[in-house]
A and B are shown apart, each in its own frame.
Chain A
């Protein structure tokens, strides 16, 4: 399925993020593969478009409007001030006006006007439009060129969150049988095996054994990665990529060493072996809750005291912002701890308490920079103070390495750019969108490499890691530069 590399459109980096002139339809050619029948059915959606889809879609649209304040409000109040038009990495990268957040919303808003406001009466004047097949095609294209990163919401005077609009649109499309293959397939795998990658329990145990051996070879220590153990203190839920993908596995080794050294008993679970939650990408409350529930069911079954989530952006948002609403309250856990806890928060706390010690010089060959993952930055928090999601990872990096530089101001913290593959875009068929969407971030990477000799790009998101491992070489950087914060911890921890 992978396209030959020559076919990719890779921008030349000059370190500048310019606002492009608009080119209507510039990225209309790139769209998702439609979902497969059994995946859709497993998720409770019709397998494909059926007669009467239009009425069904409008019915679902209405139901969401009546039950989701955000969508209701945001459909009405955009003033088209344009403040968001130059804020989306997918517009900056593709020049396609439908990737300007307001215009992306307009794809839905014009349908809203037609069916739900008196403006629908003055069709041409008010830009209202029936939900035709043409419009549906645009929806399927452009609502899958949004990574639900919320950057636009930050800059909108009313906080209009295009991610909410995107989620609603995807939910409507799913409910009439027009799904995205990648995300629905992944969720189906979670329901079958407990994780996004579809690894069954024995295979997972094998991998963990391999990792234990690797650690033994590297350090001479017997660091265990327990699985499905009852009665331990901590249930650790990493994104499943941490078990199998590179450089993710290096971070998993880091977590294991931290638990080992601190002497805190923990386990991973084969039933809840996935922190990621693609239900969020679908915008589907029901699927998201179902996936999320596995974690808390498992915490209950294994009688742990607390739940810790590994390095993953949207997973952390799902765990932090939604868990308690969807599957709480967690009164069966130890109320001494906040659950869920982010692994960075946990490790930093141990360092501050002196429970583990790091030797920073182990990372002296590295000049580290940090990419704020947008779901962590704009959709969650770590620690117990505002902005902890920015400070804690930075403090952790600085505790593990001597050389740290920030990326360009205005593209970090809450203003961070998305990696270009979040929100269910981490799939081959939209590779050109991923390359284009990562362009603004890559410009700042180029600048950091040129000016500061940065050679390690620290991340706390499984999707970011996969995306950048792929994108860095595409833009001519070394894939080895990409890694997790716990990879640094793993190098530096004194066992």
Chain B
């Protein structure tokens, strides 16, 4: 076993810290949303009359952005393209870990190509979303620093990821790939190996870590919050079934 270098030591510490921030941050948020009482029943009507219906409604929002589709087709298209490609990419990154074996399966190149296409779609849709913030007067007015920050961060992540495929020679990429797998394994099994030393890779990795650490403090929490949004998840049956929370305070409705 090769001894660990200083870079790796740094990244190990960095990665675990980020993981901890993310896990604790997200769990705390979930706990907070889940335990805050909702004093009254406020589904936005017409709303489903059953639990199952309400679940279908929220899934429609999560998987198809139904309300956004209703309000703005262009935003829907590019927002949807971004989210789909982003999720596919996250999924494929995990998946890659399982299929990257010796010898590579014959379809590995197709797999990588799909990833590259997703990456391009992701960066382009982000570019559109960014342009929208700069060009459309109303959107420009409401945009805050953190809105630009997250878009740019995501774009840089995408670009750095793509650059691995376009800037590096196939041989250099293989070197990265070959050392990435044991490094990742090591994170889970505590049998640490050195992180790939390629600077482009390290940029990509670092940016991802920054993003992950930032998530619990950012608007990205909408991926959790939507499941707790009373106007969307509640069932329209206040007369049929009494909605009563004894702990609810006589405060705001």
CA A254 to CA B250, docked complex, whole Å: 37
Q: Does A78 contact B (CB under 8 A)?
A: yes
Contacts of A53 in B (CB 8 A): none
CA A333 to CA B231, docked complex, whole Å: 29
Contacts of B252 in A (CB 8 A): 64, 68, 71, 167-168, 171-172, 283-285
Partner of A381, one of B32, B229, B236, B242: B236
Given A289-B250, A325-B238, the answer on whether A77 and B231 have CB atoms closer than 8 Å is: no
In the complex, the answer to whether B138 meets A338 with C-beta atoms within 8 Å is: no
CA A328 to CA B242, docked complex, whole Å: 7
Partner of B42, one of A154, A161, A414: A161
Counting chain B CB atoms within 10 Å of each CB, the highest count among A73, A155, A378, A385 belongs to: A73
Q: Which of A97-105, A469-477, A481-489 contacts B (4 or more CB under 8 A)?
A: A97-105
CA A168 to CA B251, docked complex, whole Å: 9
Contacts of B132 in A (CB 8 A): 82
Q: Does B61 contact A (CB under 8 A)?
A: yes
In the complex, the answer to whether A100 meets B142 with C-beta atoms within 8 Å is: yes
In the complex, the answer to whether B40 meets A325 with C-beta atoms within 8 Å is: yes
Q: Does B38 contact A (CB under 8 A)?
A: yes
Q: Does B93 contact A (CB under 8 A)?
A: no
A65 to chain B, nearest CB (A): 8
Instruction: Give the contact-size bracket for chain B.
Output: 35 or more
Q: Does B33 contact A (CB under 8 A)?
A: yes
In the complex, the answer to whether A321 meets B41 with C-beta atoms within 8 Å is: yes
B30-68 interface with A by 8 A CB criterion: 32-33, 36-42, 44-49, 61, 65, 67-68
In the complex, the answer to whether A82 meets B142 with C-beta atoms within 8 Å is: yes
Q: Which of B12-20, B161-169, B214-222 contacts A (4 or more CB under 8 A)?
A: B214-222
In the complex, the answer to whether A156 meets B47 with C-beta atoms within 8 Å is: no
In the complex, the answer to whether B71 meets A79 with C-beta atoms within 8 Å is: no
CA A273 to CA B49, docked complex, whole Å: 31
Contacts of A389 in B (CB 8 A): 45-46
Given A320-B239, A325-B238, A339-B239, the answer on whether A157 and B42 have CB atoms closer than 8 Å is: no
Counting chain B CB atoms within 10 Å of each CB, the highest count among A80, A160, A164, A387 belongs to: A80
Contacts of B39 in A (CB 8 A): 67-68, 285, 325
Contacts of A212 in B (CB 8 A): none
Q: Which of A119-127, A184-192, A225-233, A350-358 contacts B (4 or more CB under 8 A)?
A: A119-127
CA A354 to CA B164, docked complex, whole Å: 76
In the complex, the answer to whether B137 meets A21 with C-beta atoms within 8 Å is: yes
A148-175 interface with B by 8 A CB criterion: 150, 153-161, 164, 167-168, 171-172
Q: Does A85 contact B (CB under 8 A)?
A: yes
In the complex, the answer to whether A83 meets B226 with C-beta atoms within 8 Å is: no
Partner of A126, one of B47, B75, B145: B145
In the complex, the answer to whether B42 meets A164 with C-beta atoms within 8 Å is: yes
Q: Does B170 contact A (CB under 8 A)?
A: no
1/0 per residue, CB under 8 A from B, across A53-83: the answer is 0000000100111111111111011111111
Q: Does A263 contact B (CB under 8 A)?
A: no
Instruction: Give the contact-size bracket for chain A.
Output: 35 or more
Partner of A77, one of B72, B146, B221, B230: B221
Contacts of B248 in A (CB 8 A): 67, 285
Given A81-B75, A87-B71, the answer on whether A69 and B41 have CB atoms closer than 8 Å is: no
In the complex, the answer to whether B143 meets A22 with C-beta atoms within 8 Å is: no
Closest to A322 in B: B40
Closest to A318 in B: B253
Q: Does A377 contact B (CB under 8 A)?
A: yes
In the complex, the answer to whether B38 meets A381 with C-beta atoms within 8 Å is: no
In the complex, the answer to whether A77 meets B138 with C-beta atoms within 8 Å is: no
B249 to chain A, nearest CB (A): 5
**26 chain-A/chain-B pairs, Cβ below 8 angstroms:** A67-B37, A69-B228, A70-B42, A73-B229, A76-B29, A77-B219, A77-B225, A80-B144, A85-B138, A85-B139, A125-B146, A126-B144, A127-B145, A157-B68, A159-B61, A159-B230, A167-B252, A171-B251, A280-B253, A283-B252, A284-B252, A285-B249, A288-B253, A379-B42, A379-B44, A389-B45
Binding site for B on A (CB under 8 A): 19, 21-22, 60, 63-74, 76-87, 97, 100, 102-103, 106, 117-119, 125-127, 150, 153-161, 164, 167-168, 171-172, 280, 283-286, 288-289, 320-326, 328-329, 338-340, 377-381, 385-387, 389-390, 414
- A82-B75, A325-B245 given; name 17 further pairs at CB < 8 Å: A65-B36, A68-B37, A69-B33, A69-B230, A72-B32, A73-B33, A77-B225, A82-B136, A97-B142, A106-B142, A126-B144, A126-B146, A157-B68, A322-B41, A325-B40, A378-B45, A379-B45
Binding site for A on B (CB under 8 A): 29, 32-33, 36-42, 44-49, 61, 65, 67-68, 70-72, 75, 79, 132, 136-139, 141-147, 217, 219, 221-222, 225-226, 228-232, 236, 238-240, 242-245, 248-253
Report, nearest first, the 5 A-B pairs whose CB atoms are least far apart: A77-B225, A155-B71, A159-B231, A159-B232, A69-B38
